[in-house]
Structure 1
Amino acid sequence: MIIAHAKAILALADADNDPPALVVLDGKVPDGVVPPYVLFYFADSDPSQADGSSLANESARYVVRAIAHCVGGNATAARAVAQRVRARLLDAVPTVAGRQCFPIRREEGREAERDEAPGSLVVDKVDVYRLETLPA
């Protein structure tokens, strides 16, 4: 189930084609790719909330968190990527076959971190988005 949810979120982010087109990556930065870009990782859970189980006591609610690493050559560029990702994801209602999707929410925004290990400055701003769904 995580694959379909991740694909839906990636498709929303990848639909940003304003110049320059937003580079959207899933789990790995290929060799030769330089900032700016957004790198997504995904985590999922099956919460045990009262409204998340069926009468048969089967889990129904599904939660996916999209961890967006918004990377730029400096802090301003990283914030610009984060702003573009936010514009595409926040409050969007994606389509996932067989699921009722709720609007995507932003759970957390972390401060940007500098990384000069690759030999040049890279700034990474991490935002965490949450998508919750139920069976349709």
Structure 2
Amino acid sequence: MIQAHADAILDLLRADSELTVIDGPVPQGTVPPYVVVYIDDSDPELPDSRPLTGDSERHVTRGYIHSVGSNGVAVRAVRQRVRAALLDVRPTIAGRSCMPIRREDGQPARSDEETGSPLVSAVDVYRLESVPA
């Protein structure tokens, strides 16, 4: 189930031919703009997320989307493409009923001064939740 949710997020991003989507470490020599995606999942233990049997049914996946560009303007453009690809979309996952994807958190754009790289990046966190169909 974790991979199915990750694929849903990655597929939505990859559907935009203007986005270079990287799932994991950035290959040497990759030229911005691009997005780096990290996926995390959880099964919330909220009373309203369990049936009377007590089993967890709700699945929550978070996509940590790192938008990378050569300057602030480029990063904002990438963030806008990510937002258009994910926000409020209800992806299709076999056997699951998905809620609309929501932007849950984010960090402002900043330059990578530690490495001396001319890159600017920003992180946005998008949440995908589903329950059995």
Q: TM-score, normalised by structure 2?
A: 0.95
What does residue 3 of structure 2 align with? 3
Provide, for residues 70-106 of structure 1, a one-character-per-residue CA deviation record: whole Å limited to 9, x for no partner: 0001111111100100011000011111110000000
Which blocks of at least 5 consecutive residues in structure 1 are unaligned? none
Matched, 1:16 2:16: yes
Matched, 1:62 2:70: no
**Partner Cα separation in structure 2 for residue 116 and residue 35 of structure 1:** 16
Q: What's the CA shift for 1:30?
A: 1.4
**Partner Cα separation in structure 2 for residue 90 and residue 23 of structure 1:** 18
Aligned residues: 133
What does residue 76 of structure 2 align with? 79
Q: TM-score, normalised by structure 1?
A: 0.93
Q: What's the CA shift for 1:28?
A: 1.6
RMSD (Å), alpha carbons:
1.2
Q: What's the CA shift for 1:116?
A: 3.8
What does residue 51 of structure 1 align with? 48
**Partner Cα separation in structure 2 for residue 85 and residue 112 of structure 1:** 14
Secondary structure class of the residue paired with 1:4: helix
**Partner Cα separation in structure 2 for residue 117 and residue 36 of structure 1:** 19
**Structure 1 runs, 4 residues or longer, greater than 4 Å off:** none
State the identity %. 58
**Partner Cα separation in structure 1 for residue 111 and residue 102 of structure 2:** 26
**Most deviating of 50-59 and 35-44:** 50-59
Provide, for residues 26-71 of structure 1, a one-character-per-residue CA deviation record: whole Å limited to 9, x for no partner: 1221122111000000111111112211221110001000000000
**Partner Cα separation in structure 2 for residue 39 and residue 120 of structure 1:** 16
What does residue 105 of structure 2 align with? 108
Q: Name which of 32, 35, 38 aligns with 1:35.
A: 32
Which blocks of at least 5 consecutive residues in structure 2 are unaligned? none
Counterpart amino acid of residue 88 in structure 1: A
**Partner Cα separation in structure 2 for residue 109 and residue 87 of structure 1:** 16
